[in-house]
Structure 1
Amino acid sequence: MSFAKRSSFDAYKQADTKLEKVLGVRDFLALGVGTIISTSIFTLPGIVAADFAGPAVVFSFLLAAVVAGLVAFAYAEMANVMPFAGSAFSWISVLFGEGFGWVAGWALLAEYFIAVAFVGSGFSATFQNLLSQLHITLPATLSNPFGTKGGIVDLISLLVIAIAGVIVFMGANDAGKVSQVLVFLKVAAILVFVVIGITVIKPQNYVPFVPAHNPKTGFGGMSGILSGVSMIFLAYIGFDSIAANSAEAKNPKRTMPIGILGSLAIAVVLFSAVTLVLVGMHPYSDYAGNAAPVSWALAQSGFKNLSIIVSVVADAGMFVALLGMILAGSRLLYAFGRDGLLPAKLGKFDKRGLPSNALITITVVAIVIGAFFPFAFLAQLISAGTLVAFIFVSLGMFALRPREGKDLPEASYKMPFYPILPALGAIGSIIVFEGLDSLAKMTAFIWFLIGIVVYWLYGSKHSKNNKEA
């Protein structure tokens, strides 16, 4: 049994040599920012402000960023030492053993499957809103997931995920170039919103900045801020998509720390600016149940044409996120196939040296989830899967440092204030996980139960690591 048998660093390094080294700093920054600044920035600030924290929603974003930032330092060092496809799955397999790596990787797999579908449906909702302004309405059967509001299939979600999959299929370098262009447009639109929004801010909307806590609803006070953190945390999962593609980095020792930490820093600034402007433009209670608060706030302030432009750019931003998620998810599936934990075909390369079978698989699964199934109740599962992986990576620092310069390469970038920061990263991730609602935690438990069964019945029997043992 190979559950605790550590995977070989040299074997991973050799296996990933077929992946072409084509991604540079700009590609990783574009993919990271594009994934982080996507659906969340255009939807979550208003919803969390109305339901949990009021104007203090900015503190929710900042606290989530602090926890994510602590883990990002660990991610940067691990990706520097072990630039392998599969990110946390491969790292934990090398540090703690294949079975532990499987648990971390299985958590991330849930994140990518659901996140791709989540973003695809977010794109569909925004696009349908644009169509309605042009007096174009799709039939209910083609505009909603099966069983939701008379829907059979969300056609737009299906098509946009498929198109994103095709672009990634063309090659990681092409996906990176597309991301750079769209991310530039998205950041420009966000800055325009902030500049225009500042001109119509009403100071009274910030008072009280931290509303009094209501024990019956959970709204307000420190409790409301912390509840907002758990809901917002999925906004910061984008830097894992950078790490998952580290095997394709031109110079991982330089590009990985800059890509991971740089994209997170840019995201924090943009999230904070959008959030503060948004709650200053209108009373936070006006955003209750509003899935497009940025566009709505502009339209209500008399900037209808700009609102349409922002909606278009928001969809462009979500498309960038799709590229990043599909790219990263396919590399994770490839890593599972590479190690024999899932069917070996997932770990095979095509004639261009790309894991096309893994790419097709994640695209098809995401299409099914996003186009045919209502998944709103699974949204927090994205955060749940990510947080489990974050806990593993933070704790993994205590196994990584003693091996650097011995059987593992010495890192050119090191996480500061070791061992304090990795410990805080693990504790912070556990606290945020505890803040998830009970349904999300129950669903996560069921997902991990399925994962253990899959590993026991298939993975452990076909594992290359087990055969070597």
Structure 2
Amino acid sequence: MAAAWGVPPVNLARRLLRTKPTERIVAESGRGEGGELRRTMSLWQLTLFSVGATLGTGIFVVLGQAVPKAGPAVVLAFVLAAITALFSALSYAELAGTIPVSGSSYSYAYATLGELVAWVCGWCLMLEYAVSVAAVAVGWGEYLNAFLRSLLGVTLPDAITRSPGQGGVVNVAAILIVLLATWLLLYGASESATANAVLVLIKIVVLLFFCAVAFTAFRSRNLAPFAPMGVAGIAGAASQVFFSYIGFDAASTAGEEARNPRRDLPLAIILSLAVVTAVYVLVALAAVGAMPWTAFDAERTEAGLARIADLAAGASWPGLAVSFGAVIAIASVVLTVIYGQTRILFAMSRDGLVPRVFQRIGGRRQVPVANTLLVAAFISVLAGLVPLGRLAEATSIGTLFAFTLVNIGVLVLRRRSPGLPRGFRTPLFPLTPVLGAVLCVVVMAGLSGVTWVAFGLWMLAGLVCYFVYGFRHSRLHVEAGSQAKPGTTSPQG
């Protein structure tokens, strides 16, 4: 392969494993083509960005799937999953406080593990962000219909709320929520963060409302036996609910628009995980206390919390409020995840690994307009016309792979550059990042073979894209070539 590219094997390996100096990554922070991103986000907004990306429909759906596996001990399953996520969250917090830029784990990998690994990480993030948000948007029409059915007794036709292959023609509802999020993002990062804060607070209030209603029907006998499936059941349920915690890293994509990134990014990541864990545990306890665990149906998960609320109150209006919360939850996830995708592409474009259009900043609000529109168009096509199937399931494995690289990156950077200024240091080093990496690999190993095949195909496509475009256009490579020629200067675009 090296010969095919006209590069000796040793030089090829050196090019693929070259790292970008941490000091340079930080120095370029905020700079794009035609302007700079505005530093407007506070700690509060950053925290709610991560909460918004994490606290989605997972709790509305996954609880009904996990309870039959663990019984009332599903509460412990959420705690165990949170501890598993915490190790990686601490690694994210350290790197976010050391390299406070928009690229998230892509930039961290570029500084520690080299260009090819950074590209693979960025490609995984595209799977996590672009494909997963399309899959989330696809479900918005169903939750909207559940809400409209409860409120007005009407539903929107399948032709505009389902994708082709699922009984629909064009999923107009999915496209609509993507376009709404895009409009907010084009209006400005701070304004988008404010809108997200409102949406997040609404869905937290709705979930707390569910808890208040469910606790009125709480019966201690519903918690016995507490762990009918034993430790194996708790572990199985923990692996399933772990994916409800994915998204805590969203704040790290806002590193170039945070007011005080070295301090606020680590805090936002850890605080968001704490908030989400508290909500999940409280909801799980309220649910299994209000309804015997044997009554949970793993096949009827979409309206699980709404049904429990209705049964607890003996009326239909509590379920209506919970359905509204699910609609809001998806809207918040779509907004925050599209934002994250645009900022990761912004960082990759600045490094020359994707076309320059993604780093162009324009408009009065100083946002990457073309980048946002292109991402929105891509996600709209996926959500409106493409049955995502197994590719959407592969988003989980892509995310876990990126988490693994972040944990390894902490180990590498501590050894290579121990004197770098760090806004946060992972406690119990090196145990914490080692456990974080090992636990991510363990969870990945438990995923289905079909998911691994889908992930492998996605990675293959990513490598093709890198060697067709990024390998030749890498800014580090172009500058190295320029410096090798007397009388030339390095490009700055």
TM-score, L = length of structure 2: 0.89
What's the CA shift for 1:379?
4.0
What's the CA shift for 1:152?
1.3
Task: Name the aligned partner's letter for residue 26 of structure 1.
Answer: W
C-alpha contact (below 8 Å) 1:234/1:382 kept by paired residues? no
Report the counterpart of residue 3 of structure 2 in structure 1: none
What's the CA shift for 1:66?
1.0
Give me the whole-angstrom Cα distance separating, in 1, the residues matched to 2:296 and 2:418: 56
Report the counterpart of residue 423 of structure 1 in structure 2: 434
Task: Name the aligned partner's letter for residue 271 of structure 2.
Answer: G
What's the CA shift for 1:207?
2.8
Give me the whole-angstrom Cα distance separating, in 2, the residues matched to 1:376 and 1:26: 36
**Is residue 2:322 matched to residue 1:310?**
yes
Report the counterpart of residue 443 of structure 1 in structure 2: 454
SS in structure 2 of the partner of residue 265 of structure 1:
helix
Task: Name the aligned partner's letter for residue 405 of structure 2.
Answer: F
What's the CA shift for 1:102?
0.8
**Is residue 2:310 matched to residue 1:299?**
yes
C-alpha contact (below 8 Å) 1:226/1:435 kept by paired residues? no
Task: Name the aligned partner's letter for residue 453 of structure 2.
Answer: M
Identity of aligned residues (%): 31
Report the counterpart of residue 215 of structure 2 in structure 1: 198
Give me the whole-angstrom Cα distance separating, in 1, the residues matched to 2:232 and 2:451: 19
SS in structure 1 of the partner of residue 256 of structure 2:
helix
Mean Cα deviation higher: 446-455 or 194-203: 194-203
SS in structure 2 of the partner of residue 181 of structure 1:
helix
SS in structure 1 of the partner of residue 28 of structure 2:
helix
What's the CA shift for 1:327?
0.8
**Is residue 2:276 matched to residue 1:267?**
yes
* Equivalent position to 1:42, from 60, 66, 69: 60
Mean Cα deviation higher: 60-69 or 203-212: 203-212
What's the CA shift for 1:264?
0.2
Deviations 1:300-333 (A, max 9, x none): 3324112112211221122112111111111111
Report the counterpart of residue 392 of structure 1 in structure 2: 405
Report the counterpart of residue 215 of structure 1 in structure 2: none
SS in structure 2 of the partner of residue 84 of structure 1:
coil
Report the counterpart of residue 144 of structure 1 in structure 2: 162
C-alpha contact (below 8 Å) 1:198/1:277 kept by paired residues? yes
What's the CA shift for 1:73?
0.7
Give me the whole-angstrom Cα distance separating, in 1, the residues matched to 2:389 and 2:316: 29
**Is residue 2:108 matched to residue 1:91?**
yes
Task: Name the aligned partner's letter for residue 390 of structure 2.
Answer: F
C-alpha contact (below 8 Å) 2:67/2:296 kept by paired residues? no
Report the counterpart of residue 331 of structure 2 in structure 1: 319
Report the counterpart of residue 286 of structure 1 in structure 2: 296
Query: Following superposition of structure 1 onto structure 2, how do residues 31-430 of structure 1 map, counting pairs within 5 Å?
Result: 31-50=49-68, 52-133=69-150, 134-148=152-166, 150-212=167-229, 221-284=230-293, 285-289=295-299, 290-301=301-312, 302-351=314-363, 352-404=365-417, 406=419, 409-430=420-441
C-alpha contact (below 8 Å) 1:326/1:362 kept by paired residues? yes
C-alpha contact (below 8 Å) 2:56/2:326 kept by paired residues? yes
Task: Name the aligned partner's letter for residue 331 of structure 1.
Answer: R
SS in structure 1 of the partner of residue 362 of structure 2:
coil
Structure 1 residues 30 and 467, CA gap change in structure 2 (3 angstroms): same
**Is residue 2:34 matched to residue 1:16?**
no
Structure 1 residues 57 and 270, CA gap change in structure 2 (3 angstroms): same
SS in structure 2 of the partner of residue 224 of structure 1:
helix
**After TM superposition, what 4+ stretches of structure 1 lie above 6 angstroms from structure 2?**
none
Give me the whole-angstrom Cα distance separating, in 2, the residues matched to 1:192 and 1:337: 44
Give me the whole-angstrom Cα distance separating, in 2, the residues matched to 1:398 and 1:21: 29
Structure 1 residues 412 and 14, CA gap change in structure 2 (3 angstroms): closer
Task: Name the aligned partner's letter for residue 177 of structure 1.
Answer: T
SS in structure 2 of the partner of residue 287 of structure 1:
coil
What's the CA shift for 1:109?
1.0
SS in structure 2 of the partner of residue 146 of structure 1:
coil
SS in structure 2 of the partner of residue 20 of structure 1:
coil
Task: Name the aligned partner's letter for residue 454 of structure 1.
Answer: C
C-alpha contact (below 8 Å) 1:189/1:313 kept by paired residues? yes
C-alpha contact (below 8 Å) 1:46/1:278 kept by paired residues? no
What's the CA shift for 1:403?
4.1
Report the counterpart of residue 486 of structure 2 in structure 1: none
Deviations 1:185-206 (A, max 9, x none): 2212211211221111233332
Report the counterpart of residue 468 of structure 1 in structure 2: 479
Q: Which runs of 5+ in 2 are unaligned?
A: 1-11, 31-35, 481-493
The total of aligned residue pairs comes to 457
How large is the RMSD of aligned CA atoms in angstroms?
1.7
Structure 1 residues 257 and 235, CA gap change in structure 2 (3 angstroms): same
C-alpha contact (below 8 Å) 1:145/1:373 kept by paired residues? yes
What's the CA shift for 1:226?
3.0
Give me the whole-angstrom Cα distance separating, in 2, the residues matched to 1:234 and 1:332: 21
Give me the whole-angstrom Cα distance separating, in 2, the residues matched to 1:360 and 1:61: 37
What's the CA shift for 1:32?
1.3
Deviations 1:224-249 (A, max 9, x none): 33333333222212221111111111
Deviations 1:164-200 (A, max 9, x none): 1110111110011111222222212211211221111
C-alpha contact (below 8 Å) 2:390/2:454 kept by paired residues? no
Report the counterpart of residue 455 of structure 1 in structure 2: 466
C-alpha contact (below 8 Å) 2:53/2:332 kept by paired residues? yes
Task: Name the aligned partner's letter for residue 296 of structure 2.
Answer: D
SS in structure 2 of the partner of residue 248 of structure 1:
coil
What's the CA shift for 1:462?
1.0
Task: Name the aligned partner's letter for residue 319 of structure 2.
Answer: S
SS in structure 1 of the partner of residue 16 of structure 2:
coil
C-alpha contact (below 8 Å) 2:391/2:455 kept by paired residues? no
Task: Name the aligned partner's letter for residue 477 of structure 2.
Answer: N
SS in structure 2 of the partner of residue 349 of structure 1:
coil
Report the counterpart of residue 33 of structure 2 in structure 1: none
Give me the whole-angstrom Cα distance separating, in 2, the residues matched to 1:11 and 1:379: 35
Deviations 1:313-360 (A, max 9, x none): 221122112111111111111122111111121122124432222222
Task: Name the aligned partner's letter for residue 287 of structure 1.
Answer: D
Give me the whole-angstrom Cα distance separating, in 2, the residues matched to 1:345 and 1:180: 29
Deviations 1:153-174 (A, max 9, x none): 2221110111011101111100
TM-score, L = length of structure 1: 0.93
